Amino acid sequence: MEKSRELSRVAQATPSPEKAAPATTNHDDPEPPSRVRRCALVAVGAVLIVMGIILTYWWNISDPDHRRLLGAGDCWSFCGPVLHFLDHRIHHGELPLWNPLYHCGQPHAANPQAWVFYPPNLVRSLLSFNPTPMKTHVGIALMIFFHLLFAGVSMLLLARRHGLSFGASLVAAFAFTFSAALTTRSVGHWVFLNTVAWLPLLLLLLRQAMITSALRNKVCLALAAGVVWGMAILGGIPHLMMIAGLAAAVYALLFRILYPLAGVESIPSFEPVREIDVPEGSKKKRVKNKKPAAPKRRSRVRPIARLAAGIVTRDAIVLCLLFATGILVAAPLLFPGAQFSSYAGRGSKDEAMKEELVQMSGFWRLAKVLAVYQGHGHYEGPRASGAIVLMLALAAVVCRPRRDTVMFAALFLILLDCSIRQPLLFGRLVARLAPFVLSNPGRAMIITCLPLGLLAGAGTDAVLAPLASWRWRTARSGAVLLLGAAIVLIVALAARPEPVLAVGNLAVVLPIIACLVATVAGWIPSFPVWSIALAGLVFGETLAWNRHLIPLIVSEGQQYKGSLDAMRQPKTFWADNRRGTYLEPNVPMYELEPAMNGYDPPHIYKADGAFKGVMVPRGSHRVTFVFKPFLVFTSMLVSVLTLAGIAAALVLLLRKPRGIGPAIPMVCANTH
C-alpha cells in the first residue's frame, strides 16, 4: 500500500510528453482557438488566396486567344516543348529516359529541368489525355495555380504556428505568395515554383519536430519533412535546392539557440534530496536530507551537460533524417543528374557560365530593391514584396523585438546576402561550396521573401498590440510614422537610376494609408479588423504593381510567335533519320521533330559514347538502340524502397499500443 502511494507521488511529479508542451509562442488570443475555428480560419485564408491568385493573373487568364497563358520566354521556348514530349511518350506507354529530339539525343531523365520524376508533373502529364501542346500548357497553368495555393496556405499555417494572429498570418501569406520575385517567375520561369512552394511546409514540419518531446513523434515529423524536402529537390532547380537547404539548416539552428528548452520533457532539479518512506523488507534504506558538500557542487554541471547533449543529439537525429530522407527520395534525379552534370559547363564550375546582367552595389540600390515592388529594373534582378511589407518588417524589429522576430530577421539577412551580386559572408560560402556555378544569385530572392513575409506578419501584431502606457503607444506611433515616411520617400525617389513602372499615385498612396492605419490602430482597440485591413492593403499594393509588371514580363516580344491553331492539333512522333535546324530553341519539339540547334540549359561540353554501332550480317535487319541506364533504375528502386520504408515506419510509430495500462508501470520501472 505504501509502495503504491509512493509510485503515485512519483507519477504525479513526472511530466508526461503530452502535457509538457514548450512555451515557444505567444498567442494573442486569451484562449487557444478550437480545432473547428482553426480549420475555419484556414479555409477562409485559402479562399482569400484563391481570389488573390485569380485577380493577380487575370490578365493572363482572360486572354481569349490563350497566347498570354503560355507565358514568356522559356515557358514556351523550353519548358512547354519538353513537357509536351513527356506527355506524348507517357500516353504511348513509355517513361522517357532518353530524348532523341534533343541535338543528336540526350539523357532526358538526368536533366533536372525535364521533371520526369516530379510527382505533380507526372499527375499533370497522366491527366493530359490525347496530348497536344495547348493541353500541355493548360495543365501547366493549373499546376502553377495549385503550387501558388499550396505555398500560400502553407505559409499561413507556418505563421499561425509561430503565434501570429489570423490577420498577421494573412499578411505573411500575401507577402510571400504575391511577392514580385514569385509573381514574375510564375509567368516567366514557373519552374521555380516546383521547389519554392514546398519550403513553408518544410519549415513547419521541422519546427514541429524540434518542439516535440516524444522521440517517436520527432522521427515521424522528421521523415515527413524529409519527403517534403525530396519533393523540393525533384522540382528541378539546383540553385534553389542549395538555398532551401541552407534556409532549413539556419532556421533549425536559430530556433534552437533562441528556444534552447523547446521539446525538453523535464528539467533537472538541484534541490536537496527529499526523505522517502520505503516499506519494511526493502533493501533500500531511508534517504535523509543533507546539504551537499562543497566539492560536490560540480554535480550541477553534469545534469545540464546531459540535458544539452540530449537536445543536440535529438536535433541532430531530426536534421540527419530530414536531409538523408530527402536525398533518397530524390535519388532518381540526383544520382543520374550528378553524372550528367559532370559533362556540363555549369557542373564543371566554368566561370563563363555566370550571368553578369545585374549589378547591385550601394545602399540606394538595395533600398530600392526592398521598398519598390518592381525591384531591380532587369528581369533577372532581385525584387521583394513592396513598401508596406518592408515597413511592417522594420516595425517588427523596432516596436516589438521578440525571439521569433530575431529569428526571422537573422534568416532574412542571411538569405539576402545569398541574393546579391557582391555578398559578404554567407553568399560567398554558398558559392564556394556549391558543386555547380550559381549563375545568378538574384534568383535566391524568391526564398528570401519567406522570412521577410514572416517579419511583416510579426510587425502587424507589433503595431496593433495593446499597450497599457500612453507613453509607449506614443513612442510606437512615432516610430511607425518615421519608418513609413522614410519608405514612402524611397518609393517617391525610386525613378533613379533605372525608371520604374507607371503605376501612378497608388505606389505612394497605399503605403501612406498603411502607415496611417498602423498608427491609428494602436490607439483604437479593434485588433482583428485592423490586421485584416493591413493584409488587404498589402495585397492591394501588389495588385496595383502587377497590373503593369506582368504585361511587361509577358510582352509581345516575349510571347509565343507560332500558330495557336497548330498547337491545338495532335502530333505524330518523328519516324525518319533526318534532322533539321530551327531558329527558335526547342520549338520543333512541339511538332515532335528533332533539331540540331536546340537550347541547352546545362551547357553540355562533352559527349558520353556519342558513336555507337553493332555488327550485322548481310540482309535486311531492324536495329534498335535501347537506353536502359543502370544508374537510373537503381536510383528509382532506392526511391521506391525509401518511400515504402517511410510509410511502414509511420504506420508502426503512429499506431497506438493495445493492452497497455496507464503510465504508472513505466514510472515504476524507472524508480527501481
Pick out the chain residues at pLDDT < 50: 1-30, 269-276, 278, 283-289, 296, 659-672
The C-alpha atoms of residue 494 and residue 505 are separated, in whole angstroms, by: 13
% of the chain at pLDDT higher than 70: 79
DSSP-derived letter for residue 259 is: -
Three-class SS of 90-156: HCCCCCCCEECCECCCEECCCCHHHCCCCHHHHHHHHCCCCCCHHHHHHHHHHHHHHHHHHHHHHHH
The answer to whether 510 touches 544, Cβ cutoff 8 Å, is: yes
What pLDDT, in 10s, does the model give residues 599-617? Answer: 555 555 555 555 556 666 7
Are the CB atoms for 107 and 336 separated by under 8 Å? yes
Task: Please report the pLDDT score of residue 2 as a whole number.
Answer: 46
How many beta carbons lie within 10 A of that of residue 180, not counting itself?
25
**Cβ 60 vs Cβ 554: under 8 Å:** yes
For 434-447, letters b (16+ CB in 10 Å) and e give bebbbbbbbbbbbb
Letter for the amino acid at 476? R
Residue 398, helix vs strand vs coil? helix
CA-based nearest residue to 358, from 447, 438, 259:
438
pLDDT reported for residue 164: 93
**Rounded distance, CA 610 to CA 210, Å?**
50
Return the half-sphere exposure (C-beta side, CA atoms, 13 A cut-off) of residue 377. 11
Is residue 70 within 8 Å of residue 560, measured between CB atoms? yes
- pLDDT score recorded for residue 16: 39
What pLDDT is attached to residue 165?
92
Beta bridge partners of 107: 98
Instruction: For 509-562, give the DSSP string.
Output: HHHHHHHHHHHHHTTS--HHHHHHHHHHHHHHHHHHHHHHHHHHHT-GGGS--S
Residue type (1 letter), 652: L
Cis-peptide, bond into residue 435, ω within 30° of zero: no
Enter the pTM of the model. Answer: 0.84
Backbone angles phi, psi at 106, to 5 degrees: -155, 145
Query: In sequence order, what are the beta bridge partners of 102?
Result: 595
In the prediction, which pLDDT does 648 show? 86
